[in-house]
Chains A and B, each alone.
Chain A
Amino acid sequence: ETGVTQTPRHLVMGMTNKKSLKCEQHLGHNAMYWYKQSAKKPLELMFVYNFKEQTENNSVPSRFSPECPNSSHLFLHLHTLQPEDSALYLCASSQVRDSAYEQYFGPGTRLTVT
């Protein structure tokens, strides 16, 4: 596997379900991110992890719970979601350094909440 991978690619869940999204990066990066992309809207940053430590929570509701066990893996645990949470969830990674902030994205998980 190369780059950034995400599983599952598609997920349909009811409002009372609990599920988890998984992201893995094979680039040796030290930062990982969760983004949400809703239709016709810009990518919204949800969480940032630098060196496994959460450095940013962009006012995300507590029904979204991130976990970063190591610098290569990132999870997003989902519970009691709402239909408006249906979106494309993108994971990204980058090498944090003094200059250049290119982030490399996975293919995303298309989430539908019914």
Chain B
Amino acid sequence: DQQVKQNSPSLSVQEGRISILNCDYTNSMFDYFLWYKKYPAEGPTFLISISSIKDKNEDGRFTVFLNKSAKHLSLHIVPSQPGDSAVYFCAASDSGTSGSRLTFGEGTQLTVNP
């Protein structure tokens, strides 16, 4: 039972344009969401997070939007840069259970073309 799904395995955008990565979840108990970026031969790197009490969180070029009614979150990167090319994972947590347990999506490979 895949509780966090990233339905697009890959996304290709032009440098300077907006990248939008999507994530859907099924567990209504999830109340904290995170995005990670992963380069080849490295571990995932924490990028940005959002609590379920918010619908938007912004950090520089990265913005995460949360739509609780649709159980959907998205990561916007603008402007996209070639260095953003990586695999992006969304993850979700239910603070009522073991607290720090994260459930990950399958990842989306983003390629930013110069």
Contact = CB atoms under 8 A, between A and B. Distances in A.
A103 B41 contact: no
Contacts of B32: 99-101
B51 A42 contact: no
Contacts of B45: 105
Contact of A48 (B49, B100, B104): B100
Contacts, number: 64
Interface size bracket, A side: 20 to 34
Contacts of A104: 46
Contacts of B36: 105
Contacts of B4: 42
Contacts of B99: 96, 101
A1 interface: no
Interface size bracket, B side: 20 to 34
Contact of B43 (A40, A101, A102, A105): A105
Contacts of A96: 99-100
A4 B43 contact: yes
Nearest to A3: B43
Contacts of A4: 43
Interface of A: 4, 6, 31, 33, 40-43, 45, 48, 50, 55-56, 90, 92, 94, 96, 98-108
Interface of B: 2, 4, 32, 34, 36, 41-46, 49, 51, 89, 93, 95, 98-107
Given A42-B104, A107-B41, 20 more contacts: A4-B43, A6-B43, A42-B2, A42-B89, A43-B44, A45-B103, A48-B98, A56-B98, A90-B44, A98-B95, A99-B32, A100-B49, A101-B99, A101-B100, A102-B34, A105-B36, A105-B43, A107-B42, A107-B43, A108-B42
